[in-house]
């Protein structure tokens, strides 16, 4: 199993030599912008501040040049960040594959009508394109609706798939919290008619595995069920037409105190104070199997069909989670409501718990790092005959996790690399470009990751310095003497030891040295 190391270390390890994200001074070897070589993400600090300006819309490239920025709420990923992100995504995908999911890919563009009516109030955040000769298009808002469209379009009634891709929301960017207008989603979904709660339990197991693998610190997975919430609203005397809007108010209980939530219910949503108080008695509850049992005995709730179904399934879910050995991090929490309209059953959300970490300079507010739930009606919205395909899925909040890693990386001094180069092919005298080209070609053809300077006559010292700066472990040096002797001088960059290796044995020797 691919496990990232302890967080701070992992983040550090993924950074290129000498580059600390957001550090206040560029580290050794990356200072000058005008060095002919090495290339690299120089000026990263400048980049970060420029991105902040870009986000607030004030960046430009000077008085007379073109405007130099990325669109509001978007950003470039220089090599260090791209490498960190690739590593994170690989860990998530490894977990999805471990659970037997297949990848699918869908277009970034969807017909507008595919997205219409799926997201409730959030639909206003959808990016729309100009009319393309009669086709009205939009950028996808999530990966769930395209998945449902895909299932309906291809009449697929069961499938376990993952999808890692960018989605687009014209939200107010909060970039320090990892909230962008273009961001990755990592989704795993199980579609099909199965026995209750088995796929649902697997989704929670996946969240548990990924958050454990990434060693993000302590976390809690809150679980609830839309049917239980609706049952609570019903027995508290709320009309069905107000269920969804009441849901969205309840969902704020993790951010604001009950009194404020109650005020919103009464003042804005028009509930009676008595009904609000009755709701309050329920939605402030959280616990485990004991709470489920208690609510199953609740005189009012046990009379409500939906609530009873939901509670029965919740009990089953906890049984399965106990078999997975993960109930310690699961909380049945009646205040969890989730924003999206399409959920119909189990819903869940994972949050990181406040933790001690000396390395973190400023605390990062990250919100939830994973969420999901059951949406049994969405595929039916696309089917001409309304045929339903029950689905449950989970989305990993990779951008927020990435933000945490980025912030922690600030504090980590460990130097790491953005490239994987294993050998620098170097020459100690002039007029040896041909020798370098011939040797590096042999190494590439043998599958060895190799670089050389793009100069005819580079200085040996600069070549060796480049190895040290960028973490290349080996230098293969061919000088006049080596050419005469039919050998290559292989230098261990860390120890500075040099050994002459017969040319025909060089590839094997390099491979041997690179073995872990």
Q: Which of residues 170-189 bind a copy of itself (CB under 8 A)?
A: 170, 182
Nearer Cβ to a copy of itself, position 70 or 331? 70
The residue among 48, 20, 28, 13 whose CA lies nearest residue 411 is: 20
If you ran DSSP here, which 8-state letter would residue 506 be given?
H
Q: How far is the CB of 294 from a copy of itself (least distance, A)?
A: 24
Q: How many residues bind a copy of itself (CB under 8 A)?
A: 124
Q: Do the bridges between strand 109-111 and strand 137-139 make them parallel or antiparallel, or are there none, so unpaired?
A: antiparallel
Does 27 participate in binding a copy of itself (rule CB under 8 A)?
A: no
Does 159 participate in binding a copy of itself (rule CB under 8 A)?
A: yes
Q: State how far the Cα of 378 lies from the Cα of 167, in Å rounded to an integer.
A: 19
Chain positions 87 to 106 lying near a copy of itself, rule: CB under 8 A, are 97-106
Chain positions 53 to 82 lying near a copy of itself, rule: CB under 8 A, are 61-72, 74-79, 81-82
Q: State how far the Cα of 309 lies from the Cα of 374, in Å rounded to an integer.
A: 14
The residue among 220, 205, 214 whose CA lies nearest residue 99 is: 205
Residue 333 has, within 13 A of its CA and on its CB side, a CA count of 21
Does 372 participate in binding a copy of itself (rule CB under 8 A)?
A: no
Nearer Cβ to a copy of itself, position 449 or 513? 449
Chain positions 234 to 293 lying near a copy of itself, rule: CB under 8 A, are none
Nearer Cβ to a copy of itself, position 110 or 341? 110
Nearer Cβ to a copy of itself, position 294 or 449? 449
Nearer Cβ to a copy of itself, position 299 or 384? 384
Binding mask 348-367 for a copy of itself (x = CB under 8 A): --------------------
Choices 229-237, 329-337, 350-358, 413-421 (CB under 8 A): range interacting with a copy of itself: 413-421
Q: State how far the Cα of 437 lies from the Cα of 452, in Å rounded to an integer.
A: 8
Instruction: Choose which of 267, 447, 486, 502 interacts with a copy of itself (CB under 8 A).
Output: 447
Instruction: Choose which of 1, 362, 484, 504 interacts with a copy of itself (CB under 8 A).
Output: 1
Strand extents, DSSP E, 325-386:
330-333, 346-352, 368-374
Instruction: Choose which of 152, 238, 295, 409 interacts with a copy of itself (CB under 8 A).
Output: 152
Cβ–Cβ < 8 Å for 21, 80? yes
Cβ–Cβ < 8 Å for 148, 122? no
Does 514 participate in binding a copy of itself (rule CB under 8 A)?
A: no
Chain positions 376 to 405 lying near a copy of itself, rule: CB under 8 A, are 381-386
The residue among 515, 514, 442 whose CA lies nearest residue 478 is: 442
Binding mask 111-130 for a copy of itself (x = CB under 8 A): x-xx------------xxxx
Q: How far is the CB of 177 from a copy of itself (least distance, A)?
A: 19
Distances (CA, A) of 100 to 160, 204, 206, 330: 7, 15, 12, 24
Instruction: Choose which of 161, 169, 374, 400 interacts with a copy of itself (CB under 8 A).
Output: 161
Nearer Cβ to a copy of itself, position 195 or 362? 195
Distances (CA, A) of 326 to 70, 206, 334: 43, 11, 19
Nearer Cβ to a copy of itself, position 438 or 496? 438
Nearer Cβ to a copy of itself, position 175 or 230? 175
Cβ–Cβ < 8 Å for 410, 357? no
Q: How far is the CB of 266 from a copy of itself (least distance, A)?
A: 34
Choices 235-243, 263-271, 316-324, 344-352 (CB under 8 A): range interacting with a copy of itself: 316-324
Cβ–Cβ < 8 Å for 491, 399? no
Chain positions 415 to 434 lying near a copy of itself, rule: CB under 8 A, are 418-421, 433-434
Cβ–Cβ < 8 Å for 407, 388? no
Instruction: Choose which of 27, 52, 89, 108 interacts with a copy of itself (CB under 8 A).
Output: 108
Q: State how far the Cα of 113 lies from the Cα of 146, in Å rounded to an integer.
A: 12
Residues 6+ apart with CB under 8 A from 274: none
Does 154 participate in binding a copy of itself (rule CB under 8 A)?
A: yes
Residue 303 has, within 13 A of its CA and on its CB side, a CA count of 6
Nearer Cβ to a copy of itself, position 77 or 305? 77
Instruction: Choose which of 119, 141, 233, 320 interacts with a copy of itself (CB under 8 A).
Output: 320
Residue with tokens 């239980």: 228
């Amino acid at each position: 199993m691919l496990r990232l190391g302890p967080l701070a270390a992992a983040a550090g390890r993924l950074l290129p030599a000498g580059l600390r994200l957001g550090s206040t001074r560029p580290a050794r070897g990356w200072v000058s912008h005008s060095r002919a070589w090495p290339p690299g993400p120089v000026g990263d600090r400048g980049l970060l501040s420029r991105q902040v300006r870009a986000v607030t819309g004030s960046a430009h490239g000077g008085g007379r040049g073109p405007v130099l920025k990325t669109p509001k709420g978007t950003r470039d990923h220089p090599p260090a960040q791209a490498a960190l992100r690739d590593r994170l995504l690989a860990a998530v995908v490894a977990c999805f594959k471990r659970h037997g999911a297949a990848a699918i890919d869908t277009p970034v563009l969807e017909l507008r009508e595919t997205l219409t009516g799926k997201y409730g109030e959030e639909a206003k955040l959808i990016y729309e394109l100009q009319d393309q000769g009669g086709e009205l298009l939009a950028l996808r808002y999530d990966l769930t609706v395209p998945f449902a469209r895909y299932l309906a379009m291809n009449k697929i009634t069961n499938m376990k798939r993952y999808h890692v891709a960018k989605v687009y929301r014209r939200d107010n960017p909060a970039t320090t919290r990892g909230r962008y207008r273009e961001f990755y989603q990592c989704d795993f979904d199980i579609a099909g008619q199965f026995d209750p709660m088995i796929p649902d339990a697997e989704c929670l197991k996946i969240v548990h595995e990924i958050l454990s693998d990434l060693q993000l610190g302590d976390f809690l997975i809150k679980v609830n069920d839309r049917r239980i919430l609706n049952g609570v609203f019903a027995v508290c005397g709320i009309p069905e037409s107000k269920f969804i809007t009441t849901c969205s108010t309840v969902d704020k209980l993790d951010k604001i105190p009950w009194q404020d939530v109650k005020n919103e219910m009464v003042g804005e949503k028009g509930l009676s104070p008595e009904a609000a108080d009755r709701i309050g008695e329920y939605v402030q509850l959280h616990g485990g199997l004991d709470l489920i049992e208690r609510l199953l005995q609740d005189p009012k709730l046990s009379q409500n069909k939906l609530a009873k179904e939901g509670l029965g399934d919740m009990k089953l879910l906890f049984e399965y989670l106990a078999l997975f050995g993960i109930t310690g991090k699961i909380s049945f929490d009646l205040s969890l409501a989730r924003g999206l309209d399409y959920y119909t059953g189990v819903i869940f959300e994972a949050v990181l718990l406040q933790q001690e970490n000396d390395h973190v300079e400023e605390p990062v507010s990250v919100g939830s790092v994973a969420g999901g739930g059951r949406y049994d009606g969405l595929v039916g919205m696309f089917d001409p005959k309304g045929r339903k395909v029950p689905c449950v899925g989970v989305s990993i909040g990779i951008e927020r996790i990435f933000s945490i890693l980025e912030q922690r990386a600030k504090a980590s001094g460990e130097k790491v690399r953005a490239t994987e180069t294993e050998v620098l092919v170097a020459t100690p005298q002039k007029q040896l470009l041909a020798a370098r080209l011939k040797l590096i070609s042999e190494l590439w053809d043998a599958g060895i990751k190799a670089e050389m300077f793009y100069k005819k006559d580079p200085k040996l010292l600069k070549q060796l310095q480049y190895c040290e700066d960028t973490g290349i472990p080996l230098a293969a040096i061919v000088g006049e003497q080596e050419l005469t002797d039919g050998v290559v001088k292989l230098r261990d960059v860390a120890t500075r030891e040099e050994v002459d290796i017969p040319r025909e044995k060089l590839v094997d020797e390099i491979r041997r040295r690179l073995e872990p």
